[in-house]
Structure 1
């Protein structure tokens, strides 16, 4: 009896041999899953950004209510004074106010990222065996969806108050696509700031300070020829002015010249410079 019990009971602290062999077989025989691609991980993080909106729908406030307020306020504020009527002014300001609405809300990219960093989420992302920039790129892709919603809302409001783009649907889509490319590149500035500044409020303060001269010192609201010489000089070198001119050309069905190339060069430069700085700081957050 004692011999049978001893044969059935393994020594204390050791697993039975057949069980050890089964575990070893399971571990060595399984096929290692393929490493996820940069595209798939970026899309996954983009989906994560959209799921956050599902659980916190208040995040859609800035891409719905804000564009409506901006469009109505500036159209009816300046329409009668500049063009004599809203109907005459809407063809000029609609593409510009579309650009302004989308670029203004890009600052929330940095504040959202800073919040995630403070919660320790990105410490976990750094440890994952994935393409390093995918967490940041995916977040910006998710924001691109929010920017698209803002563009659609602004366009609908402009159409409701009399805007009839001569470029048709194709022109509006081309203009919005160019705007999204520039907004994506601009978002890298705020991601870099989120690595440097300590609070979401400080990021919004710096972003507002940067965006104000870019947006209001441009050709969004009025023709630069009516401005004093020193202000015209700033407007002419302002990348937002080139963006607005190109978007306006697409939507109003007029010729799009060198402003398109200039805008794309600016977008590529912003990604190259601030994307590299962001990744440098992301790898070494100290």
Structure 2
């Protein structure tokens, strides 16, 4: 039944104009044939992308290596569409450009996928299906060093706010929760005082697919705080990758409080360290 559901979803995929799936940093050969290959996907506004967004992937990598039988073969940031309709959302072109600069200049394994960004709003469950389709159907998954084929498991990476919204009645549809947590699974970066125990209790059905990762060094940098600093003319150096800071300055982004934070038609948003989607995912 799950395979039939994914087949129906992939048959309805439509790509944005001139879209191609980026996979130049995807590791096509497993280092350890006893491990299950996984790809981490973080969905969010990334307006702008911060060091905490990037740090989430490194925390997950450490956790996976020390506590699981998974092997990470790639990591993706998937900026949300402009049609997400969150007030002040900076346009997708700028957000994708900033994420690309951050990934290419600070990481050796992270990539940006623009499929979600440059089209109508897509639910998280559909975004994960898209990655599954591109990696396992189009690219053919990965192989062991002896040549054995392996499908890659796509897993969502997010901040603790995600689990909080998933445990709220009426925010996510049960079908999407079952698809995201049941078929794929998620890594959640915990934050101090976030009350994860209560949130995960209400999601007990999928507990085996929810991996909670503690922040050993607390970091509360958020896109919201960064935008506030920028509007007040304060420095954001060392909060964001240097290339992202330069891009913001060159394009005069986040300078005012209006519906557009770019002088022409920019918009902005925040992800609070992950993928908080406060709308019914149905």
Scaled by the length of structure 2, what TM-score is found? 0.25
Which is strand-richer, 1 or 2? 2
Which is helix-richer, 1 or 2? 1
Relative contact order higher in (CA < 8 Å, ≥ 6 apart): 2
Scaled by the length of structure 1, what TM-score is found? 0.25
